[in-house]
Structure 1
C-alpha cells in the first residue's frame, strides 16, 4: 500500500543533576547542546541547544530543543553538557555527555541517563522529557434534527436527508457531506455525523456552507424540501450548549406563495468535540509494541554452506536475512520495554526428530522462545542455520496464527496497551496462500500488523496481493464468502530483488515500518479506545 511517513515534531525538555563543578570561585554555567547522527554524512549535526543557566550544578532548562521524530528510523541523539563561561564552549569545557535514541526517549516518557566525562568517568545525570508539538487536532460530531418538514411523497411523508456544500471560486458548489436518509418522517432525527473543518469549509470559519434538505426517491430525482446557509463559526456556538436552528426555505415556494413562511426547521441539537489522538499519544500512554520475528528456512534459499545461498554466513558481511532483521528489528526493539523478542523459523527439518516444522523457536527453546534483543535473535539465527535442514514448503499461516492468539487476548482489553508487529522474512511465494489469507483476515480484527520482507529474486506476486488487497482493495477470503479483512495490516517490500534495490538496510526499515503508526492509531480509533493515562517513572541510572 502507499506509505506515508510518520513525522512528529518533538520538544525535548532537559534538566541535569549533580554536575561537575568546573569553576573555582563559583559553580558551573551549564548549557546542553543536542546533536543528531546523520548516517549519510557519518557525523553528528547540531539540532539545538538550551539556554545557559548561571551558577548551578542542578539546572532545569526552560528553552526546549525542537527535533523531528520518525518512528521508522533509528535516530541517534547525543546530549553534551558544557560549562559556558563567558558564553563560550569547547571540548575542554565539557561536563559530560550521554547518547541514546529518540525511540528510547519516546518509549520511556522520562529518560534519565548518566553523563560520561572525557575520562570515561560518570558524574551527574541528564533527564529528557519529550513532548509532541503538533497542533491539537479535533473531530467534530454533530447531531441534527428536522421538524415539520414538507410532505413530498404521494403515499407517505418524506424520506429526508441533508446535503452539505461549499462554494467554489467559479460560483458552483462542491458536495462535502451527505447524511443517510430517514424513511417516512417529517420530523427526522439524523444519526450523529462527523464533519471535518478542513473538508466542510476549507478550514475557514466564516466560509458560507449551504445545507440542503432533500426527499430521497429511489426511482426518480430527489426532491428539494428546502435549504439554508450557515458558517462553521455559527455552528460552533453549539459547543457552548446553545441550541441553534435554521428555517428550511424552498426557493420555488418562496417565489410562488405570498404567505410562505418555511418548509420546516433544522436544529443542531448537539455538538461533541473529541481530540484526534496521534501515535505519539498512544506511546506516551504506555502502549507497548511487541515485536516477533519469523524466518524462512525452506530449501529454496539454497544450501547454506554455499556462497550462492541466501542463508550463507560470510564472516566479512551479513547476508540479506541478517541485514533485514537488524535494520527493522533495531527500530522495533526501541519500543519493547523488556527487549525480549520471540523468534520462529518455518519450513525446516528440526532436530532431534528431524521433522518439518513451520513454527519452531529459533533458539530451540519451546518453553522460552525469547531472545535478548535483536542481537540475540541474530545469534540464534546463525546457530539455527547450521543446525536445521532446509526443507519446505513455505507455510507462514502457523506463525501468523501464533502471534494472532496473543493479539486476540490483547484485543479483549478495554485499554490501548499492547500492539503486536510480526516481521516475516522469506525468499519466495507462499505455499499455504488460502490459509495465510484466512489468518491475516482474522488478525486484522486484533491489534496486530504484519511486515513481509522478500529477499532474493523470486516472483513475489502473491505477496503483493496480500499487501494491496487484490482487486477489491481489501483482502478477502474467497470468491464465494467474500469475508473481508477489517483493515489493512500487511506491508510487503522486496529487499534485494533486481527490480527493487534499496541503497541501505536503513532505507528498507523506513519503508516497511512507515505504515505501522497509522495502523496502530487506526485500530484503536476503530475500537474507540483512547490512550491510557500513564504515570511517568524514573528508570534506574
Structure 2
C-alpha cells in the first residue's frame, strides 16, 4: 500500500503533542553555605499519568554562589491538552561532585501542572518554594532478614529533634530497605518528646499506619508496631567542652604507596609531583590536616606509608615512617607532612598489596593506652584502591571501636570503592565472624565527589573545604559517643591567668607529657621489636605482643599478604610508658639516603 505523506489507512495516529520549553528562575533562596553563597540546581520530576509517583526528568546546570539564579538550561516537555501533567521542581545547594541528591542541601520544592503554567498570564507562573514541615533528624541502621528488628541505641540533641519544644509533633517512618535505594514504605506514627519521655512502656508502643493501605483495605488495622525501649534526657556536653578541658586530638596520616597509583615520575600518576598543581594525595592531606592541626598543641604528626618496597633491601612494608626516621616519625605541621611525603617518593618503589590493618593496629596500640579520655586519635588513610586484607581490616576496626579512635578513609583516583562502604557503619553496623563494632568509627568518602580536578585555584580551595566538612562532620559525634560510653566527663577549663593569651601559640619543640611513645626501638619502654636497617627503616613487620592489636606477619618483596583469619591476640605486656621522652626532641626531618636505591 502506498504511503502518502505519512498517511497510513487502517492505522492510528499517536496522540498529538506540542513541544514546550520551561525556563526556571529563583529568588531569595536560603543560603546554606558558610564560606560562600548557595550553589543552586533545579531538578524537575514528572508524574506518570494516573499515579502520584514522581520520577526525575532532568536537571539544570549548577549556578555558583547565587541566591537569585536564572537557569539557562530549559526543560523540553511534550504537552498533551487532555492530560493532567503534574510537575515537581526541587532546588538543591550543590556541595560536591556527587550525583546523589541526598548528599546536598535541600532548599525547597514546588508543584504544579503543566496546564497551570500554560494557562497563566504570559505563560509565567510564580510559586513559593515549600520546605517540608518535617525534616529528617535521624536514620537508624537497617537490619536484614527480620520482621522483629531491635535497632541500636542512639543519641540525638533535643534541639535537633524538636528544637527544645517538648510538645512539637515528631513523625517516625519505617521502611523496608532495598539496596537499589527504592525503599518500600511500611508505615508511620506521630508522637512528641513529652510523650516519649514521660509515657509508660505501653503508652510508647505505636501502631505503624500506612495511609494508602488504610484507604484501600477494609479492616486494615496496622502494618506492625514499634515500641520505645528507653528514652532519657541528659544534660549535654559538647566536643568543645572536652577540648577546652584539655583533651588532646592526635592526628596520624597513612599514605597508600601501592603500584596501582602509577609511577610517580609519570604525569598520570596519582603521586605525580608538579610545581604548578597539587596531586590528589596532597589535596586530601591539606583538606583534613588544616582543620585537625588546630586541635594538636604542638602540631607534630606521625606519617606512615604502606604498600611500598623500601630501602635498603627492597622489602615490602605496610607500616613505615614516611620521613625515614623510625624512632621519630613526627613531621612539623601540615607543611612538614607534605615535605616528608614528597621527599620519600624517589627512595621507595610502589608495590602492594593494599593492606590497611597494620596502620590501623599501629594507631590502635597507642589509643588503648589512654582509657582516661585525655587523648583521642584520628587516623587518616588515603588510598587509591580496594583493600586486599578486608577481613583483617574489619577485625582491626571492630577491635578499635572500643578505643578513643576515629578513622577517615579518602579514596583517590577513578577506582570503584563500593567495598569501602561496608566499613562505614552509617547504614549497618560493621560485623565480622559474629562480632559487632561497638560504635561507628569509620567515615569513607571518594575524593572525586568533592574535587572536579586538581590545581591550586580558589575553586580547588573551596573543594578542599567541602571535603573537610564531609569527612570531619562525624568526628565530634564519634568522639562524644566514646566519652559517653565510658562515663568520661570533660575537665573544667583551666583558669585564665592575667595577661595570658586565651590560645597560646603552639610549640613545635616536643610532644606534651603523656603523649604515646611513637615507633620506639626494641629497647625503649617495651615497644614491640622491629627489624631495622642502618637507615632506621622498618624492614619488616613482626607480630607485636600488645593487648588485642596484632601486627601483620612479615611480608617480603614479592610476597603475598597472609590469607588466613587474623591471629589470636596476645596477653598484655608492659609498654607505652608516658614519660616526657620528647622534652628536647624536635620533629624529625627526612633522612633518606643520598641517592635512590636500586632494588
Give the TM-score taking structure 2 as reference length.
0.45
Q: Which structure shows the bigger proportion of residues in strand conformation?
A: 1
Give the TM-score taking structure 1 as reference length.
0.50
